[in-house]
Amino acid sequence: MGMVKGIVAGVAACALVASAAWAEEITTLTINEQVGAARTMEPIRMGVPPAKGVAKEVGELSLADESGKPIPSQFVEVMRRPDDNSLRRVHVIFQASVAAKGKTTVKLMKAAPAAGAGKVEVTEGDGGVAVTNGVLKLTVKGVNFNLFDSVSYDPTGALGPGTEIVKPHAEGVVAMIDGKAHTPGADSKVVVEEKGPEGAVIKASGKLVANGDGPFEFVCRIHVFRASPVVKVDFSYTNVNGKVAADKVMLEDLSVVLPTALAGAKATVGAEPGVKSGTAAKIVARNSDLSELTVAGADAGTAKGKSTKPYTIGWGDLMQGQKGIAVGVRWFWQMFPKAMEATADGKLRAGLYAKEVGKPLEVYMGQARTHYLTFLFHGAMADADLSTFFAGSQMPLRAVASPKYYCRDAQGFGLVADADPSIFPADAAEAMKKFDEAVKGSALYIEKKIDGHTFQGVTLDSCGYYAWGDVFHWASQPSDPWNTLWESNYYD
């Protein structure tokens, strides 16, 4: 993601070991870097809709760079067309480098995909999964799922003795619900959802339980990429208990805790500006515009959020010599309260609903939430490079085709007209322009109504853990942000 040192020593793994016989170009995908953080071989997963009849199998699709050179890529089938059984939607997995605020393009081709040097390898057995990608080896267990049971990291690919950075442990995901610690139980399981040379997805699922029972089901997907030290994790939970809409549980804390072999390491958290480091470090987002920082338990200042919209907060790192591991969560201040912590005894904690706020969250029957975490295993790295990397993780790269391709060429959303005046008669083109302006104006009006608008003594903040909905409804307790209610959120 960031233009960083110590991620992979010499990315020779990007070299092609095989090339494809190129047949024809389907469309161009543009990748824009919008944060101002240079990206180096950032893993990308993007949906693309091939036009009708273009491809029957994913092995008929590939990518090329601007000069036509093959790019290692992996395509995953998502949906087929019912009439001719051709592919209607696919996901493509590849890696790209883009300068800060720059852009690059790749070409979607009708051709056999190219292979890179090395590949992701997956082994199943003993109720767990092992994944190697050239620089990492991860093991993930099913029963009593604990995120990564072990991780070895070596940029040379040796992955031998002395490279283990996470050892088998009994922590991982924990939710404090009604005063009890709930963790993945004996019924949790792990499966290989996808595997290929460029990437694999490991899926863990089950319930968070205390004494064998609990209200939350969870699904966790772990994304691993070829020759990459970056691992992406999507963690979702749903409250499946209750009989009526008013049934709820009290969530006091939801954290991902990863013990490492880096006790006594330099502990760092992202701040604004710069970072805060010491024997231990923590940042807590108490509201959308106030994050509090501590170093070794002492006050280390604050960071803003909504008023300055920083990309560089919401991550923690442990680094010792040539070994380091960092984790960041997407939308840190936007989905407050959150916490990121690196401890003196070598643990990383991502507080997804932070106990530090001191107030339980009412989670009603059927409510759910997904969190997006990015892990980086690295060698010696400068603080500025870590900040750049995690700034990039807040706005991952996307590879996007033209509106014409989606609407008219591929008809990926059905037969839809794109906003190109040339396809309409002159009078209709002017009407369409006015219509688009009206839609944009309506969106801005709604935005003002759900953010910063004062109603029933409450000034609305559209940020927050459960702050969403189409329009503002009512405030049952004006002093409590979680009782600012929204249409479509609190209905049966």
The verdict on 224 and 169 lying in the same domain is yes
pLDDT in tens, 340-388: 999 999 999 999 999 999 999 888 888 899 999 999 999 999 999 999 9
Q: Is residue 280, in this structure, part of any structural domain at all?
A: no
Mean pLDDT of 415-420: 88
pLDDT of residue 427: 87
Whichever domain contains 188, its CATH number is: 2.70.98.10
Q: Which of 364, 381, 403 is the last residue of a domain?
A: 403
Res. 397 pLDDT band, cuts 50 70 90: very high
Strands 347-353 and 338-342: antiparallel
Residue-wise pLDDT for 7-37, tens only, equals: 444 333 344 434 444 469 999 999 999 999 9
Among candidate residues 74, 89, 97, the one with its CA nearest the CA of residue 199: 74
Same domain, 453 and 358: no
Q: What is the number of structural domains in the chain?
A: 3
Q: Say if residue 102 is in the same domain as residue 44.
A: yes
Give all strands (DSSP E) within 126-274, no chain letters: 128-132, 136-141, 150-153, 164-166, 172-177, 180-184, 189-195, 199-210, 213-225, 230-239, 248-259, 266-270
92 and 144 co-located in one domain: no
**Residue 310 lies inside a defined structural domain of this protein:** no
**What residue numbers bound the domain in which 22 lies?**
12-117+398-403
- Predicted TM-score (pTM) of the model is 0.92
pLDDT in tens, 84-100: 999 999 999 999 999 99
pLDDT grade for 469, boundaries at 50, 70 and 90: low
pLDDT value at residue 326: 98
- Of the three residues 373, 403, 433, the one that is the final residue of a domain is 403
Structure tokens at 455: 């109603």
Average pLDDT, the chain: 90
Neighbours of 315 (CB within 10 A): 29
Is 5's pLDDT higher than 50? no
**Residue 5 belongs to some domain of the structure:** no
Within a domain: 304 = no
Residues 143 and 224 both lie in one domain: yes
Q: Hey, what are 236's tokens?
A: 């979702």
Mean pLDDT of 255-280: 97
Residues 194 and 261 in one domain: yes
Same domain, 173 and 141: yes
Listed residues 403, 430, 461: the one ending a domain: 403
Instruction: Report the CATH number at residue 52.
Output: 2.60.40
State the pairing for strand pair 199-210/458-459.
unpaired
* Res 415: pLDDT: 86
Residues 225 and 112 in one domain: no
- Residue 1 within any structural domain of the chain: no
